[in-house]
Structure 1
Amino acid sequence: MMNTNNRIEPDWNNTDTAAANSRRHGRRHGVAAIAAAVAVAGVLAVSGCGASGTSTSGAKAAQAVQKLGKSEGKVSILAWPGYVEDGSDDPDVDWVSDFEKETGCEVTSKTYGTSDEAYNLVKSSDAYDVVAASGDLTLRLINAGLVQPVNTDLIPNYKDVYSFLKNRDFNTVDGKSYGVPHGYGANLLMYNKADFSEAPTSWDVVFDKAKASKFKGKVTAYDSPIYIADAAIYLMKHKPSLNIKNPYALDETQLKAAVDLLKEQNANVGEYWSDSLKLAQAFQSGDTVVGTGWQVIYNQMDSSKFGITSPEEGVTGWSDTWMISSKTKHTNCAYQWLNYIDSPKANAQATEYFGEAPANKNACQYATDSKFCDIYHAGDKDFEKKIWYWNTPISQCIDGRKNVKCTDYTEWTKAWQEIKG
């Protein structure tokens, strides 16, 4: 189990350390791979936004089950690495065995590296009963009719999930919940303290101020088209005339402004990153001094040398959803998994191991590190309000604008290629 309290610099050249961290954080490595292939794979299948009062074509006729029956004895789960641990990788990391003992549902699981890969696996097979999906995948699954709405009355632990994770535009359509939250995290600003007399309070250190600073060429940025949303958040505050209300809902003019900003930033970026291990190495070597990072990466570094903060403009982030396949033949075991993974103890185990805030408000008491929930800002509403959770850019503006066409993920992908050259 990861110790988030003692920030000891690990041996990043040790193969065992690298392998363990790669397994745990593999889901974030893969997001950058959602590029040109993503359009072919179906990201454009989304024709509407999941939010109260709006709908997607695949969700209109879907209905949640009204009661559960006898457990079928098995459930197949598709998830990010580190979400379904049964002790096979580490005998001390196991929350699946207790589930199997409690429910009689035997778990089989498969991990995936990108949301695009998960979409194709669910679309092409009926082998998976449950899938853990990030915000850039949930609406695709809903729109394609690949997942079913869930009856949260049949999931007792759902009542203890933080209210700010419920009924969001990436997990709810027409008032129907399409799953239960797993946890949440933010893309924060990491920096080398030697290069800053005071902690930075704005993303301007990676944008407008970067080119004139002593760390020109030592800025890092997340390597994915979804990073365009980070630029949009910055422009929301610093270019209010653009009238950006949601960083994932950009019309052509707004997208161009974000792209122009990122093209300017490109000259100051030393390296775009998608591998958390390489990011840590870049900071420790001095090749990188400031840029986007995660709390879990910072926890493994020397806090006397490095800092991490949530800038005043806000941040992007993620909140993953456990969803049930519309093709499942194991509905009862699937519901039992959703209820179990949101139970206080299991939710604490899974999110502490991975490195994100838990979804269940009672999970903190089961964390092995007494500071875990403080470090990840669990239940901190002021912190959470700054997070713009990943969502899929679609042509229907998800900020509520009518008679305006927003740019979709294909356009973001093309723009990202232009930004990086």
Structure 2
Amino acid sequence: MRPTRTLQVAACAAALLLAATACSSSGKGGSSATGLNPPDLKAPTKLGRTEGEVNLIAWAGYVENGSNDPKVDWVTPFEKQTGCRVNSKVAASSDEMVKLMKTGEYDAVSASGDASLRLIASGDAAPVNTKLVPNYKDIFSGLKNGSWNSVKGQMYGIPHGRGANLLMYNTQKVDPAPTSWSAVFDDAAKYKGHVTAYDSPIYIADAALYLKATKPELKIKNPYALDQKQFDAAVALLKKQNANVGEYWSDYLKEISAFKSGDSVVGTTWQVIANLAAGEGAKVKAFVPKEGSTGWSDTWMVSAKAKHPNCAYKWLDWIVSPKVNAQVAEYFGEAPANSKACDLTSDKNFCTTYHAADEGYWKNIAFWNTPIEQCLDGRTDVTCVPYAKWVQAWTEIKG
């Protein structure tokens, strides 16, 4: 079952955000950040002897050693094969991951897109030599050279998995069946008190994505690159939505419960939540609306201060090896990154359900990225709103 992923980013991130310079990207796979100028760090050219241990920061469910479930253990085989003892810390938010990486006490982190650019810009994450990660060759192309994990063709990590933020609705109470995000925005009053939304500042991008399609006069190109006028429009839309929201969710179990009880009938979700809710009897469907969706892609990044870089590289290769990547994807509830993992999932329909190999599907997903003052869509004649102000606005939106 997929763990909760709470993304509460504190205003102290502002210094990191302002340290970054211009990027040009669509926010989707295959588009490297072309204008970012991070510190001049070098990736290793070869690996040395392993150091005997590795310190990891990860989302819950990514580093399993059998202590949570004896049947779920890909850490012990890694330790036996490499001699690298795994010490892991579960982080509850992207902001916590950034703070922990800055301490220099950790070797690698499973960063989401709203953290990875900050780590690159601040020099806390080092460039990665993908030639030292043999399994990288089998990573889906749509996850390579993304605007959230690379700069000018240089990868800053190894892609781990991906997922889309979907629109879920109660098939018995929402009629006609929705096709658009308008169900939770312009038409939300129809379901007043029963609309649910993801509880995070990054959700502002969902509103921006909707406005990109419905308000072309705003000229939004990238939902993570919003000038003040565009940002104000997204915030206004979310404040209007707030009157109809019954609950903002960050705990997937609570969302499942709300859809089962009928407290929620329409709102944003993840595929794994939709699967679990339907499995528990909720009459729900989930899909990518016609405007597309936002989404997340996690990347294993190596600390620029890593004390155990050789073990860290061994871990990067291990966690995206076909068998292990398949195990993690099924346990966590996401599309695997390794193209060979789909042949090894216990559920032979798993990759079809999660659209793992459907690059056409992912072209409609704008993966999370970190908004900075220098616009990620390449504009240089305006200043974009940095993530610290997204955090402030989110507090105002929720009242």
Give the TM bin, normalised by the shorter chain. Answer: over 0.9
Match of residue 333 from structure 1: 311
The structural deviation recorded for 1:289 is 0.3
Structure 2 counterpart of 1:98, which letter? P
Counterpart pick for 1:234 among 197, 200, 210: 210
Structure 2 gaps, min length 5: 25-31
Q: TM-score, normalised on structure 2? A: 0.94
Counterparts of 2:228 and 2:277, CA distance in 1: 40
* 2:80 equivalent to 1:116: no
Match of residue 285 from structure 1: 261
Counterparts of 1:105 and 1:349, CA distance in 2: 20
Structure 2 counterpart of 1:78, which letter? I
The DSSP-based 3-state class of the residue aligned with 2:160 is strand
Counterpart pick for 1:56 among 37, 40, 64: 37
Match of residue 61 from structure 2: 82
Match of residue 46 from structure 1: 20
Match of residue 27 from structure 2: none
Deviations 1:177-232 (A, max 9, x none): 10100000011001101023443210011111122x2x222111111111110011
Residues matched between the structures, number: 390
Cα contact 1:221–1:291 (8 A) shared by 2: yes
Match of residue 391 from structure 1: 369
Deviations 1:157-184 (A, max 9, x none): 0000000100011100122110100000
Cα contact 1:44–1:409 (8 A) shared by 2: no
* 2:296 equivalent to 1:318: yes
Match of residue 197 from structure 2: 221
Cα contact 1:220–1:272 (8 A) shared by 2: yes
Give percent identity, aligned residues only: 58
Counterpart pick for 2:131 among 153, 157, 164: 153
Q: TM-score, normalised on structure 1? A: 0.89
Cα contact 1:137–1:392 (8 A) shared by 2: yes
CA RMSD in angstroms comes to: 1.6
The structural deviation recorded for 1:366 is 1.2
Counterpart pick for 2:185 among 183, 207, 215: 207
Counterparts of 1:44 and 1:315, CA distance in 2: 27
Deviations 1:225-277 (A, max 9, x none): 11110011111111111110000000011111111111111111111111111
Counterparts of 2:254 and 2:98, CA distance in 1: 27
Counterparts of 1:357 and 1:302, CA distance in 2: 19
My pick for the range that moved more, 94-103 or 295-304, is 295-304
Structure 1 gaps, min length 5: 1-20
Counterparts of 2:396 and 2:217, CA distance in 1: 25
* 2:113 equivalent to 1:135: yes
The structural deviation recorded for 1:36 is 4.2
Counterparts of 2:309 and 2:397, CA distance in 1: 45
* 2:76 equivalent to 1:97: yes
Structure 2 counterpart of 1:363, which letter? A
Counterparts of 1:202 and 1:322, CA distance in 2: 33
The DSSP-based 3-state class of the residue aligned with 1:127 is coil
The DSSP-based 3-state class of the residue aligned with 2:352 is helix
Counterparts of 1:239 and 1:176, CA distance in 2: 35
Deviations 1:362-421 (A, max 9, x none): 101111111111111111112111111111111000101112111111221222222222
